[in-house]
């Protein structure tokens, strides 16, 4: 049955240009209304946090209503829907066209009930904040330093009150007290010069970017409890060893980015100094400490704000001028200090807990150095994230250039495990494309596993066939792929600490390693996979991706995530788009069969 009202935010016939827009741009809206006695059609739109405005749409031809809209305030989010009024002899009827209930964009629904309201999102950014070309072209490798490789074969400068694993293949295990707090940290002994010794291996794998877990001095093995921002943890090495790593990595075409943990520090730190292990006068020790105002005490000294209530991670007040000066605003700030020494960029831990102004300050400092990148840890759609009752504006220019793309990871896993349909996968990935500025989408750091998630092989129930599909999806989706150390060797593991095993040197799963090498090589050798436009689609039970640069520079990837062979039926393509369907028709694959858990690529 024909639809009486039609709008599709993904189709440039109805909204042009597609997706997020630059400040000052005009957005042309069209809606088709096949209803009698229509007296008025309005675009109802409001800037986030502001009053709604109405723009009457012009009736241009039979059933077609159009209006040009220019964002009327500063950058940010606008939310919109359509209102339709019909005047009959004895009554007036008001109806609405809303976004779909999953808020993915695309086609919505027509209703008389205003309380069904689901608005569309329009992202307005200040400028196209492009990440460096080297970063956009890269394949990254995420290293949890203590668990990768030990250059000495003995543990260097072990921490007091800790234990060392007897064997590298031992399973990680926490020793906790009755409050669930870790009372003895455990180590395998990985270090920075160990990474240097394995650079040739990483180069042969196809890696061109290294993302290191925190490397600054800290009590724990993960180092998210910083003790001193300007000192390399002695277990990992020293400044000269980091310099050598950066230099030798550069010679092999690899760059190094660091994990910046600026929301909290360790209780056992130069700044808090709960146990008096440092020569400084820490905030815990005295209200006269120069660091006292960095922290928020409810009852000095034992009750204070801590990250998620974890007492060994006191939260820092990011509005403190002296803290800002130390991290990014001072003459010899942390960002300056390490960036001057060759660090190519930073990944900001828990970015949603850092104020926008703080992130912007870091970025402003980083802009002094050519070809540096700033990304952040955000688990959700970063364009509409609300944290601590504040809308975040990370991706609108001058702050983050991209974020860790956990939504894509979830789509990959859910699709391969049969938790969502191919159409739902299309909706979810297309929704991200619509909401993100194009440059941010291209700079998102995509992953299928990190130190905060279960291992991808475990998530896929140790099914290697599914794993192969996940790896290829990681490489063909838009953004910068990042491999968690050991995934390419077949490591398994559930929640932390099981997902932080030592790399199984000499015990790698060669079949899985081969999957990674082939997929990485495909991306490294294909411009469209690194820079091309992105169009997802479904064909019944098949999920597809087109990556397109210009002319004949396009590639198509179609995956069968099911346990049964599936035939290609182009008549079932969703969403419909003549532009992309012409490419699919040119492939002459109508009626072809794709085997269970296999893919087609050209």
Q: What is the CATH number of the domain that holds 300?
A: 3.90.400
Mean pLDDT of 10-21: 96
Q: Per-residue confidence at 72, pLDDT binned at 50, 70, 90?
A: confident
Active site residue 302: no
Contacts of 191 (CB under 8 A, 6+ apart): 145, 149, 150, 151, 152, 156, 235, 236, 237, 241
Is pLDDT at 1 greater than 80 in this prediction?
no
- Domain tally for the chain? 3
Report yes or no on 29 lying in a domain. yes
Q: Over the stretch 151-180, which tens digit does the pLDDT of each residue have?
A: 998 899 999 999 999 999 999 999 999 988
pLDDT score at 86: 96
Whether pLDDT at 333 is above 60: yes
Q: Decide if 333 is inside a domain.
A: no
Instruction: Kindly report the CATH number assigned to the domain that includes residue 587.
Output: 2.60.40
Backbone φ and ψ of 545, nearest 5°: -140, 130
- Flag whether pLDDT at 2 surpasses 70: no
Are 105 and 121 in contact by the 8 Å Cβ rule? The answer is yes
Query: Active site includes 152?
Result: no
Burial class (CB in 10 A: 0-12, 13-18, 19+), 530: buried
Q: Identify whether 547 is part of a domain.
A: yes
Of 86-90, 137-141, 349-353, which gets the smallest average pLDDT?
86-90
Average pLDDT over every residue of 308-317: 96
Quote the CA–CA distance of 339 and 256 in Å, as a whole number.
10
30 — pLDDT class (breaks 50, 70, 90): very high
- C-alpha 459/C-alpha 111 separation (Å) is 40
Residue at a domain's end among 88, 105, 125 = 125
**134 is a domain residue:** no
465's tokens = 């066939």
Is residue 95 included in any domain, yes or no? yes
| Greater pLDDT, 586 or 147 | 147
The domain boundary, picked from 85, 109, 125, lies at 125
Paired residues of 308 in beta bridges: none
**Residue 586: predicted pLDDT:** 87
- From the candidates 349, 434, 439, 488, give the one annotated as an active-site residue: 349
Q: Is residue 19 part of a domain?
A: yes
**Least confident range of 178-192, 294-308, 569-583:** 569-583
Buried residues in 91-108 as b, exposed as e (16+ CB within 10 A) = eeeebbbbbbeebbbbbb
For the cut 60, the answer to whether the pLDDT of residue 48 exceeds it is yes
* pLDDT confidence of residue 390: 94
Using the predicted structure, report yes or no on whether residue 267 has a pLDDT greater than 60. Answer: yes
Q: Give residue 578's pLDDT band: very low, low, confident or very high (50, 70, 90).
A: low
- Return the higher-pLDDT residue of 261 and 549: 261
Catalytic choice (377, 381, 396, 488)? 377
Q: Has residue 300 been placed in a domain? A: yes
What does the pLDDT look like over 120-134, one tens digit per residue? Answer: 999 999 999 999 999
CATH number at residue 14: 2.60.40.10
Instruction: Give me the percent of the chain exceeding a pLDDT of 70.
Output: 100
- Does the pLDDT of residue 84 top 70, yes or no? yes
Q: What is the pLDDT of the chain when averaged over all its residues?
A: 96
Stretch among 153-162, 192-201, 215-224, 554-563 having the lowest mean pLDDT: 153-162
Q: What was the pLDDT predicted at 551?
A: 73
Q: Is residue 50 part of a domain?
A: yes
Range of the structural domain that residue 51 is part of: 5-125
Quote the tokens at residue 117. 């309201």
User: What pairs with residue 40 in β-bridges?
Assistant: 85
User: Which residues lie below 8 Å from residue 164, measured CB to CB, with a gap of 6+?
Assistant: 155, 158, 186, 187, 188, 189
% residues pLDDT > 90 (the chain): 94
180 in the Ramachandran plot: left (φ > 0), alpha (ψ -120 to 50) or beta?
Answer: left
Last residue of a domain, one of 125, 159, 174: 125
- Give the model's pLDDT for residue 580: 78
């Amino acid at each position: 049955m024909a639809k009486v009202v039609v709008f599709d935010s993904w189709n440039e016939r109805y909204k042009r240009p597609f997706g997020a827009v630059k400040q000052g741009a005009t957005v042309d809206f069209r809606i088709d209304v096949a209803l009698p006695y229509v007296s008025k059609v309005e675009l109802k739109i409001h800037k986030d946090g502001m009053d709604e405005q109405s723009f009457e749409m012009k009736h241009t031809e039979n059933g077609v209503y159009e209006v040009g809209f220019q964002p009327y305030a500063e950058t940010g989010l606008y939310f919109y829907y359509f209102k339709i009024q019909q005047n009959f002899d004895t009554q007036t009827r008001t109806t609405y066209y809303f976004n779909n209930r999953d808020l993915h964009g695309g086609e919505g629904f027509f209703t008389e009930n205003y309380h069904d309201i689901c608005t569309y999102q329009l992202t307005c950014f200040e400028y196209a904040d492009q990440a460096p070309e080297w970063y956009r072209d890269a394949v990254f490798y995420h290293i949890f330093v203590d668990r990768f490789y030990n250059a000495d074969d003995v543990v260097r400068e072990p921490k007091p009150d800790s234990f060392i694993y007897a064997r590298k293949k031992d399973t990680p295990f926490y020793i906790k007290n009755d409050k669930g707090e870790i009372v003895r940290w455990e180590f395998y002994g990985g270090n920075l010069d160990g990474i240097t010794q394995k650079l040739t291996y990483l180069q042969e794998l196809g890696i061109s970017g290294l993302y290191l877990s925190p490397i600054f001095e800290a009590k724990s093995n993960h180092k998210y409890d910083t003790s001193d921002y300007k000192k390399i943890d002695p277990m990992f090495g020293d400044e000269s060893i980091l310099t050598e790593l950066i230099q030798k990595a550069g010679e092999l075409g690899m760059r190094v980015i660091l994990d910046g943990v600026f929301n909290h520090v360790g209780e056992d730190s130069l700044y808090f100094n709960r146990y008096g292990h440092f020569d400084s006068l820490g905030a815990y020790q005295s209200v006269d400490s120069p660091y006292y105002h960095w922290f928020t005490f409810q009852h000095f000294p034992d009750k204070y704000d801590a990250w998620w209530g974890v007492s060994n991670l006191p939260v820092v007040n990011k509005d403190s001028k002296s803290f800002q000066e130390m991290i990014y605003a001072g003459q010899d700030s942390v960002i300056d200090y390490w960036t001057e020494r060759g660090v190519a960029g930073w990944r900001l831990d828990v970015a949603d807990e850092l104020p926008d102004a703080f992130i912007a300050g870091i970025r402003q400092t980083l802009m002094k150095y050519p070809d540096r990148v700033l990304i952040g840890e955000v688990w959700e759609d970063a364009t509409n994230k609300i944290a601590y009752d504040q809308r975040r504006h990370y991706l609108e220019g001058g702050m983050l250039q991209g974020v860790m793309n956990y939504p894509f990871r979830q789509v990959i896993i859910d699709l391969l495990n049969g938790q969502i349909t191919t159409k739902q996968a299309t909706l979810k990935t297309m929704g991200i494309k619509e909401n993100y500025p194009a440059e941010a989408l291209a700079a998102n750091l995509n992953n299928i596993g990190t130190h905060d998630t279960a291992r991808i092989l475990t998530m896929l129930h140790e099914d290697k066939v599914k794993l192969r599909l996940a790896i290829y999806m990681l490489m063909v989706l838009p953004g910068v792929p990042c491999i968690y150390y050991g995934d390419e060797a077949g490591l398994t593991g559930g929640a932390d600490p099981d997902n932080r095993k030592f790399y199984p040197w000499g015990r790698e799963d060669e079949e899985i390693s081969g999957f990674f090498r082939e997929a990485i090589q495909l991306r490294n050798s294909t411009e469209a996979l690194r820079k091309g436009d992105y169009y997802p689609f479904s064909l019944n039970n098949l999920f597809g991706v087109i990556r397109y640069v210009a002319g004949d520079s396009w590639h198509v990837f179609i995956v069968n995530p099911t346990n049964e062979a599936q035939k290609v039926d182009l008549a079932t393509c969703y969403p419909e788009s003549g532009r992309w369907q012409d490419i699919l028709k040119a492939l002459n694959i109508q009626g072809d069969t794709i085997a269970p858990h296999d893919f087609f690529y050209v």
